[in-house]
Chains A and B, each alone.
Chain A
């Protein structure tokens, strides 16, 4: 396993994702002699996991089964231990594209937080790029370092424990892109500018509040950034359902209904209990929005240094 390279089989020391079904999953650290409890029973790492293929079905002690998945930054984002509020894949995807990241890019990030974005950035800039990430909280910085080591990506990332607003990123004129997710990004714009390459680069700042965005935009303009653009991206997820709607009884005789070919679009809907009734139903597939969705994560402000 590595977060930057696919491998076929599970090895001792890997981080793997146990998929229980229905978006319910969790990460495990694969270790000889260890067991993991799930609602379908026990998984014994030595026999059930090590040497098996990623993507295979593992039968647990109670006869239930789970799938073991290769870790990716996206699966990690859904399963990582939260130490802070994190960025999710929807925002991450637009950040990655708008910052024009690719293999070989040098990126600066602050704060590291729980490392959700960090893993995605590392994935994209590998194998020749590098991530410089700054976290002012000592414990979180330590924890992030440990995770990067465990995930086999420590050679692609440098974690610095300092205050980005006061001390900057600890590098200058080497970055292709800078990302800021801190409470007062306007105080770090100057440092961001000096971290970026002399020939230019891209910057992005993530803020939940519009007041933060305004101050950031002013600061960006002051430091000569161009192409300043603020946007927001929202994800809508749909459940795929088969819906049946009953035909209302308008007092017509049953024969009329059926002769008009109106009673049911799908005559083989024997599964529905309503089919027994006199009236027909119409069945169709629908993408039903979830009852609740994420309405706001943050505003993303992008700009160019040229």
Chain B
């Protein structure tokens, strides 16, 4: 398969069998060739100037013309040699300072010596890549902000996490990496629209078993789940107490669900859902076959495509599993990073989280989080609310040339984090104390206003 990267095309076949981190050079045929460790033998008579007082920019310092360089390239000459030629034909090169020479060589190397390293996917690599290449798809969530989320959320093996994200599945993948797959807890992904997007998740290359405990639940059914009117359909494996509720609203929700799932199917092919996932579904189908047969008979007049039915039934089963997990209301944390307004998401989804558990909300903008902060305070049941942002600064470290590279302020987004506590039933009795403890800033505010008046 042909792959294009940084204006070059190549085939990956030759890279198989090498360890991660191996560097390759692209040859003319688009084949990759492992690059040997080059011994830097350019220790010829090192000549260098001390400053640039005599260097004039007349545009004629390079004696090779555009056409010459193109000719060299067309001949398939190694990039290294082109760079050497450029240096030899630069009249000012010898007058440049040692540092400037270094910089010149580095720049030319970058242009003419294409070297590709193949590395193993990880949250570090993928989040850096997504932020640099497609920040819009991940709501400008910078990698250091994602790192904060994972730590503040106390993500670890054994947790039962609720994740609501519209970051192409990057946040989900990061959480999955930290939880370590099968047997180490579960994740319930809340999704808007027809189905969860997991394009970035698939880049992690997780083994199949990582998806066994990954559930999904449509955001549009959260309200009905909270109010207890959620329809669970009539399934043999389902406990009786829910069946009654299911029957009442069956007609309506059933219809809705089917149409919803139809669209879901279309969109999943688009968003390149996991190959692993479909595999997994197949294996699950086997042990569920007999039940499914019954299900089919009942609906034969409605639909006669058996395959579609099976998928639908499979989805419904997973939906019910997810609903049951949520209904326990004992999740170990909540992670939100979406394009939606965070306040309603948080007010609803926090209901599913156990007390004394952390939650983290990401937003590209600060203002919605200010509102969310206020609303959460009104609601109660949360403490240690913190609105924060991180700045990241990269450094160039070279002998006698160390300095900050670039500042990445703004653009990295904001986080609101906190810890859930048992929600007070009779809120009024502790009202006074609460006011005393929580509203301390208000006394300060009064002072400021006093000054104004």
Contacts and interface: CB of A to CB of B under 8 A. Distances in A.
Given A22-B437, A74-B151, A238 B366 contact: yes
Contact of A233 (B384, B390, B399, B422): B390
B441 A218 contact: no
- For chain A, the bracket of interface size reads 35 or more
Most buried by A among B354, B356, B374, B404: B356
Given A55-B356, A55-B420, A277-B453, A234 B393 contact: yes
Given A97-B147, A103-B184, A54 B356 contact: yes
B124 A100 contact: yes
14 contacts: A4-B156, A6-B158, A8-B330, A8-B354, A19-B383, A89-B151, A93-B152, A97-B123, A127-B158, A213-B395, A230-B395, A241-B445, A272-B449, A287-B370
Interface string A125-142: 011100000000000000
Nearest to A93: B151
B421 interface: yes
Interface string B352-392: 00111110000000110111011000000001101111111
A273 interface: yes
Contact of A55 (B147, B159, B422): B422
Contacts of A4: 156-158
Interface residues of B, number: 75
Given A56-B355, A123-B154, A238 B388 contact: yes
Nearest to A226: B21
Nearest to B366: A287
Interface stretch (B77-85, B175-183, B260-268): B175-183
Contact of B421 (A67, A97, A228): A67
Given A4-B158, A237-B386, A241-B441, A97 B374 contact: no
Nearest to A64: B433
Interface stretch (A30-38, A158-166, A298-306): A298-306
A211 to B, nearest CB: 9
A103 B178 CA distance: 6
Contacts of B414: 287
A96 B430 CA distance: 40
A237 B123 CA distance: 25
Nearest to A306: B21
Interface in A282-306: 285-287, 299, 301, 304, 306
A214 interface: yes
A120 B374 contact: no
A270 to B, nearest CB: 13
Contacts of B445: 241-242
B157 A232 contact: no
Given A127-B158, A301-B397, A233 B332 contact: no
Contact of A200 (B21, B152, B330, B370): B21
A191 interface: no
A102 B176 CA distance: 10
A113 to B, nearest CB: 18
B196 to A, nearest CB: 22
A80 interface: no
Interface string B396-427: 11010010100000000010000111101000
A73 to B, nearest CB: 7
Contacts of A19: 383-384, 419
